[in-house]
């Protein structure tokens, strides 16, 4: 991960400082750990983002809303169809002031849940001790009790992509949003179906059908006659002739052999090689493995 961030430092021309835990500190403890990096004495607020969430990140609007209400902290909330699966944020309709949190409510109290995107004033750091602490269960309820916590509804899509199935859903939502905001970034042509993102350094062979909802990463080689749908093919992977991949994730520098079929949320770790004509039905394959025989039902291959 540190090497990955180094690439972005040079690409974006910014300084990225990493604060590393030696033990798990929960969702608030790490803020106390990085306190000297977050509070520069200016009193300016700072963003806190959950890294397993994908959305459109309206930072400017969030800053504007935070400054307008004058509270101590702002959280973004997103509306969901099944609030009973989540912790619900109950707010004043007019102002967005957070009244309370209800964990997995049995009766309907609202449909807004924490989206994992926050803007916090430095004073919030005074509420966090350097020990494993939950920002959602310990810190935010205390700020809400002091009437200093506000919620803003996140426009556009939102998805928690911590699980592979949700990652594929998040990819679909992200590509849909690109279609609206920056359609020129999506691939086009006779071989493309629906929303597809292909890195400029990837190569696609003759007679392929790619899409819908596919991302092909840097340096990938997709040979002739390949079918890809609802999947991600990560950096440096190769998909050989006439292979078919759907609803799956192909990890970095992996290979899918000729006429192979990979489907039903198969996940190939880094440097996994699926041999020619092999079938994988929901196999989860750990890195550096060669798969010579078919995986007929979902299982983990160690």
The DSSP element (H or E) to which 209 belongs, if any, is strand 209-210
- The alpha helices in 24-139, defined as continuous H runs, are 29-33, 35-38, 59-69
- pLDDT at residue number 42: 92
- Write the DSSP string, 142-175: HHHHTT-EEEEEPPS-EEE-SSHHHHHHHHHHHH
Tokens representing 134? 């939950």
pLDDT tens figures, 228-281: 999 999 999 999 999 999 999 999 999 999 999 999 999 999 999 999 999 999
Q: CA-CA distance, 209 to 274, in Å (whole number)?
A: 20
User: Coil, helix or strand for 49?
Assistant: strand
Domains and CATH numbers, the chain: 1-160 (3.90.550.10), 164-300 (2.160.10.10)
Q: CA-CA distance, 56 to 170, in Å (whole number)?
A: 12
Strand partners, 268: 250, 285
pTM beyond 0.85: yes
Q: What is the mean pLDDT of residues 148-164?
A: 94
pLDDT tens figures, 27-63: 999 999 999 999 988 999 999 999 999 998 999 999 9
Pairing of β 290-291 and β 284-285 = unpaired
**Average of per-residue pLDDT values in the chain:** 95
Task: Report DSSP state, residue 123.
Answer: G
């Amino acid at each position: 991960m540190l090497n990955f961030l180094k690439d972005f430092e040079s690409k974006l021309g910014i300084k990225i400082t990493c604060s590393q835990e030696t033990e798990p500190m929960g969702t608030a403890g790490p803020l106390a750990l990085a306190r000297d990096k977050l509070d520069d004495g200016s009193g300016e607020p700072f963003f806190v983002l959950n890294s397993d969430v994908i959305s459109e990140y309206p930072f400017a609007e969030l800053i504007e809303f935070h400054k307008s209400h004058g509270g101590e902290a702002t959280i973004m909330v997103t509306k969901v169809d099944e609030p009973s699966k989540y912790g619900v944020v109950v707010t004043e309709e007019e102002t967005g002031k957070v009244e309370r949190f209800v964990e997995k409510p049995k009766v309907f109290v609202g449909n807004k849940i924490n989206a994992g995107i926050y803007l916090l004033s430095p004073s919030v750091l005074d509420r966090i001790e350097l020990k494993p602490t939950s920002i959602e269960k310990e810190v935010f309820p205390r700020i809400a009790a002091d009437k200093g916590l506000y919620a803003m509804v996140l426009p556009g899509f939102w998805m928690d992509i911590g699980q592979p199935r949700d990652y594929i859903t998040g990819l679909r939502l992200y590509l849909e949003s690109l279609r609206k905001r920056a359609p020129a970034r999506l691939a086009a042509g006779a071989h493309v179906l629906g929303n597809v993102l292909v890195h400029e350094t990837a190569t696609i062979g003759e007679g392929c059908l790619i899409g819908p909802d596919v991302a092909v990463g840097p340096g990938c080689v997709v040979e002739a006659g390949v079918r890809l749908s609802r999947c991600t093919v990560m950096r440096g992977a190769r998909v050989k002739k006439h292979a078919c991949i759907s609803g799956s994730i192909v990890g970095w520098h992996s290979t899918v052999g000729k006429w192979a079929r990979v489907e039903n949320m198969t996940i190939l770790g880094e440097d996994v090689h699926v041999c020619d004509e092999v079938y994988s039905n929901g196999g989860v394959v750990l890195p550096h493995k060669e798969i010579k025989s078919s995986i007929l039902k979902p299982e983990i291959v160690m």
